[in-house]
Chain A
Amino acid sequence: MKKLLNLCASGIALGAALSLPAQAEMLKELGKPEGALSIVAWPGYIERGETDPAYDWVTKFEQTTGCKVEVKTAGTSDEMVSLMNQGGFDLVTASGDASLRLIAGGKVQPVNIDLIPDWKRVDDRLKDAPWHTVDGTHYGVPFMWGPNVLMYNTEVFKTAPDSWDVVFNEQTLPDGKTNKGRVQAYDGPIYIADAAMYLKAHKPELGIENPYELNEDQYAAALELLKGQRQLVSRYWHDAMVQIDDFKNEGVVASSAWPFQVNLLKADGAPVGSVVPKEGASGWADTLMLHSDAKHPTCAYLWMEHSLNSNLQSDLSVWFGAVPSVPEACTDKSGMQTAEGCDANGLKDFDKIWFWRTPTSKCEAGGCVPYHRWVSDYIAVMGG
């Protein structure tokens, strides 16, 4: 039954994405706080000190504004889109694959950045990012971002590997043993982009410009590379905790991973390090977006402001292993984050990161392979 509900919801989401964007009016000025605010967020994004008293960026907001914050967590982007389609929420922390669908579906309204004094603190490189800005109109406030780093075992690699080569091609690792069965790859179809990114650097004759926009030939080459990788991979990783366990107990020594796993493993004393190799890395960037029928717009604007000028950016980036959208948060001591911490989570590698987005057939070059084909073909690759 739940499956069917999900199906229906996705169906509605898809239908909504097709309809023309509704012309939602931008808020001109803030009113009186409405006393409540409901947010759809990734698990761990909105902490009020209940999990760990040291991580709290809600209580103070509630005290100063009187807006009682309610959180609905969602595990996948699709869930977020369907929750927003159902309505009844004010804000959502949408990732790059959901944000444009929400804009196209008219489910989020333009954000008046004049009402957010601290907008100026946002990383300049994120201010006009294409996953929340359409035709010069801002549909949200950048929240957090992070890279998919190459995590490696420091006992096997005395020096950090400088290329994704170690996970794509069979070779002898520095400890004298083969990498077969000791590397992992992500089990989402979007991982095809990682292969394309590798080919972009190593096979320039393919002419790959953007790993999320692949024509038939480039796409076929990426699949070929992944089929070779299948022989090296014993298990694809899907769940961060499973991957952590695989690094500890399964003898895995190199894989794409999130800084989250790296931080947890390091905290546990495991010999791991992470690097953004020379080819670059894929990554994710989340945006705080406002529902077009938000019942508490003033509280929502206050929260957007709060997200930029409080301990939120700093502490959340420590908590989640992410990079703040406000660069100052790394150094201004507003929370626990430090310059080294931000660098470890990927701050310096911004220019090397290809942020996640949904591949569609409409791309600049024209005739690109759409995402649903990525899905069926990646299933075939994993099926080996």
Chain B
Amino acid sequence: MTDHAIFPPRAGLVARGVDWVIRHPRMFTFLMILPIVLWLGIVYIGALIALLMQSFFSIDEFSGVVKHEFTLSTYAELLRPSNFDIIARTVVMAGSVTLASAVLAFPIAYFAARYARGKWKALFYIGVMLPLWSSYLVKVYAWKLVLAKEGILNWVFAKLHLTWALDGILSLPVIGGNSLSVSYLGTFIVFVYIWLPYMIIPVQASLERVPGPLLEAASDLGATPRQSFRMVLFPLALPGIVAGSIFTFSLTLGDYIIPQIIGSGRLFIGQAVYTQQGTAGNIPLAAAFTVVPIVLMGFYLWGARKMGAFDAL
């Protein structure tokens, strides 16, 4: 009986290997996570480090050649008015797009989470997801046509005899312009349209998880609808909103196609990176520009974690 307690090693290389791995569970775990660690370590973190290193080099003013010496002068260059404008412009745009998305997404998500059932629920999901099925570029070009000076929206306004209202909005300083498609307002509208689904989905998920009886209890205890929204519903849905805002904020921060097609030709961070790394060969400055959204998002995610956003993902 006892002589069968330990089996003799099995024959064959594969079988032995398998046995060895089974007898060493730690080794098994190590082998399982090795590819992921390699991927994260080399491809992901490694790439980021290479990027960071580039940003500490500088370009020689005279010859235009990259000097491989440590310097902070490239970061100082970011603070030059024209470059700083780009950063401020992008951050303000990302912030307003996020705010607008949250305001628009909340009622839609609330309806879907609380009232939509069966067929309506399916319709909601299709409605939110449908824009994601078509190409991003096609959507942006379509919007260009909608917003153009001789485009659909202008035509609608003219038919409604509301051209004066549109002209009034477009004559506003900063956000206005010659037409919607060459103004910040147009860029903003398209950003909101493109990123809205990324806000709706997490908000809807977090609203689904708010127990209905809590709201009923609030009203039983005499809270007005406004109070129960402010003190019960909104705080419970906040992690979802913050989770959605991570998407809308970071996606706007990095996008370089929309402002190129719809907007006034003033650069956003993504476009600045694209221009600097190209024929200009100013890779350090391009890298430094890239570090800005990374740092901003670092702070953003840190704040979002504090608000419990990652529980809603």
Contact = CB atoms under 8 A, between A and B. Distances in A.
**A interface, over-half SS:** helix
Contacts of A10: 277-278, 281, 283
Given A249-B150, A383-B267, A370 B179 contact: no
A370 B65 CA distance: 11
Interface in B162-209: 177-179, 181-182
A332 interface: no
Interface string A29-71: 0000000000000000000000000000000000000000000
Contact of B51 (A7, A14, A187): A7
B82 A235 contact: no
A201 interface: no
Contacts of B114: none
B260 interface: yes
Given A77-B279, A250-B182, A383-B267, A245 B82 contact: no
B85 interface: yes
Nearest to B266: A383
A250 B149 contact: yes
Interface string A228-260: 000001111011011001101111000000000
Interface residues of A, number: 47
B261 A242 contact: yes
Interface string A170-198: 00000000000100000101000000000
Contacts of B279: 76-78, 97, 358, 371, 375
A267 interface: no
Contact of A376 (B82, B182, B260): B82
A371 B65 CA distance: 11
A3 B290 contact: yes
A6 B62 contact: no
B280 A187 contact: no
B263 A235 contact: yes
B51 A4 contact: yes
Interface string B259-275: 01101111100001101
A249 B280 contact: no
Interface in B99-152: 141, 144-145, 148-151
A211 B125 CA distance: 57
Interface of B: 43-44, 47, 50-51, 54, 59, 61-66, 77, 80-83, 85-86, 89, 141, 144-145, 148-151, 177-179, 181-182, 260-261, 263-267, 272-273, 275-283, 285-287, 290
The 5 closest A-B pairs by CB, nearest first: A380-B82, A236-B265, A249-B148, A181-B178, A375-B280
Interface of A: 1, 3-4, 6-8, 10-11, 14, 18, 76-78, 97, 181, 187, 189, 233-236, 238-239, 241-242, 245-246, 248-251, 358, 360-361, 370-377, 379-380, 382-384
5 contacts: A239-B260, A372-B64, A376-B77, A376-B285, A382-B266
